[in-house]
């Protein structure tokens, strides 16, 4: 049996995925668009071993017991079904996401697992097939197969719901400043959060048209390196996604006090001529897009406000690759 190691990077959505159409197949309600980041990634090694009596899942040096390992086991079952491989597997995964950064690692984790597990099981999948497979683990993982700007096309079934690269190599001096405002695990998972938004927010139908419009505006903006248009769209898209949480029943929010303070700082920076725009996912940590000439002034401002160790700078990153 051969051990295969794959590395995948996490991504940040500029036009968000927030709602499943089919929770089993992980088909989304809408398409979405992201940027893969260089700083945060997962290395995962998989080896199928006929002597094992169950899957052994180790993450960051910790062996997981069930039910913690269940999502990985479910994913391995999909790979076994596709490949005909019947053995259990050793899975060893290391998340290179800065300590307690509170940044989502499920995108990089399931993209790396899709790569390592499929190849270790004897499958040679194309990037499109890998993207479809990663989707079964976590929606955002669909996009982490590719580097740069990536669109996940919602599609209508397992075959057509996959990511395609919009621009894999980003020749544009942009950066994403990740602010670590609360390192703790989110209280409401994205899975629960999106489900309650779809079923209870009266604004959900409007969200679907917002996404269609935002995708139509942001794609040419990215290709023409129109930073202002891209920034305006990504910021309003994030706020409109979060409006679904505020309008759900019962209502909830991922923001904390520091989130609101950091949003204010982005506005202050913009007024002072340092153009930057924020986005945030299912947690309180802001990610601020800027152009690299403005990076020193922007990071300094946030370091003064929250402390240097809470400010992490990332740039566009690469897609999935095999390390062995
Ligand atoms: O990959 P999931 O199922 O954890 O969903 C992630 C959803 C958001 O991060 C909030 C948005 C997105 O498009 O990545």
Q: Of 219, 231, 319, 223, nearest to 275 (Cα)?
A: 231
Question: Does the beta carbon of 197 lie inside 6 Å of ligand 1?
Answer: no
Please tell me the least confidently modeled range out of 13-17, 97-101, 169-173, 185-189. 97-101
Question: Phi/psi at 27 (nearest 5 deg)?
Answer: -90, 130
Specify the DSSP element, H or E, that contains 27.
strand 27-28
Angle (deg, nearest 10), helices 227-246 and 190-200: 80
Q: How far apart are CA 183 and CA 163, in angstroms?
A: 29
Question: Phi/psi at 65 (nearest 5 deg)?
Answer: -95, 165
Q: Give the SS3 label for residue 28.
A: strand
C-alpha count within 13 angstroms, C-beta hemisphere, residue 126: 5
Q: How far apart are CA 209 and CA 30, in angstroms?
A: 9
CB of 91 closer than 8 Å to CB of 45: yes
The closest-lying atom of ligand 1 relative to the alpha carbon of residue 241 is: 10
Question: Does the beta carbon of 140 lie inside 6 Å of ligand 1?
Answer: yes
Q: Of 45, 36, 237, nearest to 149 (Cα)?
A: 36
Contacting residues for 187 by C-beta, under 8 A, at least 6 apart: none
Residue 7 has pLDDT above 80, yes or no: yes
The rounded Cα 242 to chain-centroid distance in angstroms is 16
Q: Of 27, 319, 320, nearest to 160 (Cα)?
A: 27
Q: Give the SS3 label for residue 301.
A: helix
How much distance in Å is there from the Cα of 212 to the middle of ligand 1? 17
137-190 confidence digits (pLDDT tens): 999 999 999 999 999 999 999 999 999 999 999 999 999 999 999 877 668 989
Question: Does the beta carbon of 285 lie inside 6 Å of ligand 1?
Answer: no
- DSSP state letter for 186: P
Question: Does the beta carbon of 110 lie inside 6 Å of ligand 1?
Answer: no
37-92 confidence digits (pLDDT tens): 999 999 999 999 999 999 999 999 999 998 889 999 999 999 999 999 999 999 99
- DSSP state letter for 310: G
Distances (CA, A) of 302 to 104, 214, 261, 286, 295: 21, 28, 10, 11, 11
Q: Of 260, 261, 289, nearest to 277 (Cα)?
A: 289
CB of 175 closer than 8 Å to CB of 290: yes
Question: Does the beta carbon of 281 lie inside 6 Å of ligand 1?
Answer: yes
The rounded Cα 59 to chain-centroid distance in angstroms is 18
The owner of tokens 């719901």 is 161
Round the CA-based radius of gyration of the chain to a whole number and report it. Answer: 19
Look over the chain and give the mean of its residue pLDDT values, rounded to a whole number: 96
- pLDDT in the model for residue 66: 85
**pTM (whole model) above 0.95:** yes
Q: Of 99, 115, 106, 107, nearest to 45 (Cα)?
A: 115
Sheet strands (E) in the chain: 4-15, 20-22, 27-28, 32-49, 56-59, 62-63, 88-96, 149-153, 162-167, 174-179, 276-279, 287-291, 311-314, 321-322
Give 101's pLDDT tier (boundaries 50, 70, 90). Answer: low
212-248 confidence digits (pLDDT tens): 999 999 999 999 999 999 999 999 999 999 999 999 9
Q: Give the SS3 label for residue 80.
A: helix
Please tell me the least confidently modeled range out of 5-19, 130-144, 175-189, 300-314. 175-189
- pLDDT in the model for residue 184: 73
Residue 102 has pLDDT above 70, yes or no: no
- pLDDT in the model for residue 97: 80
Q: Whose CA is nearest to atom 10 of ligand 1?
A: 281
What's the residue count for the chain? 324
């Amino acid at each position: 049996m051969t051990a295969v190691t794959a590395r995948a990077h996490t991504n940040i959505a500029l036009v968000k995925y927030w709602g499943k159409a089919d929770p089993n197949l992980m088909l989304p309600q809408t398409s979405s668009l992201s940027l893969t980041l260089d700083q945060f990634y997962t290395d995962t090694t998989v080896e199928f071993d006929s002597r094992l009596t169950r899957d052994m899942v180790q993450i960051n040096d910790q062996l997981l017991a069930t039910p913690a390992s269940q999502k990985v086991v479910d994913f391995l079952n999909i790979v076994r079904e596709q490949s005909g491989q019947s053995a259990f597997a050793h899975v060893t995964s290391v998340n290179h996401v800065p300590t307690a950064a509170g940044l989502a690692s499920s995108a990089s984790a399931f993209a790396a697992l899709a790569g390592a597990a499929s190849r270790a099981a004897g499958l040679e999948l194309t990037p499109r097939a890998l993207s479809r497979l990663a989707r079964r683990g976590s929606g955002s993982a669909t996009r982490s197969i590719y580097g740069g700007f990536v669109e996940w096309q919602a599609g209508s079934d397992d075959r057509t719901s996959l990511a395609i690269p919009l621009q894999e190599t980003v020749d544009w001096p942009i950066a994403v400043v990740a602010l670590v405002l609360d390192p703790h695990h989110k209280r409401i998972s994205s899975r629960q959060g999106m489900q309650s938004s779809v079923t209870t927010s009266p604004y959900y139908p409007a969200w679907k048209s917002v996404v269609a419009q935002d995708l139509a505006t942001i794609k040419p903006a990215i290709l023409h390196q129109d930073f202002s248009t891209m920034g305006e769209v990504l910021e309003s898209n994030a706020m409109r996604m979060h409006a679904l949480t505020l309008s759900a029943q019962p209502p909830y929010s991922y923001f904390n006090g520091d989130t609101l303070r950091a949003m204010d700082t982005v506005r202050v920076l913009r007024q002072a001529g340092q153009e930057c725009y924020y986005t945030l996912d299912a947690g309180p940590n802001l990610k601020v897009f800027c152009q690299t000439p403005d990076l020193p002034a922007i990071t300094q401002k946030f370091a003064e406000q929250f402390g240097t160790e809470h400010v992490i700078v990332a740039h566009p990153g690469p897609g999935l690759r095999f390390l062995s």
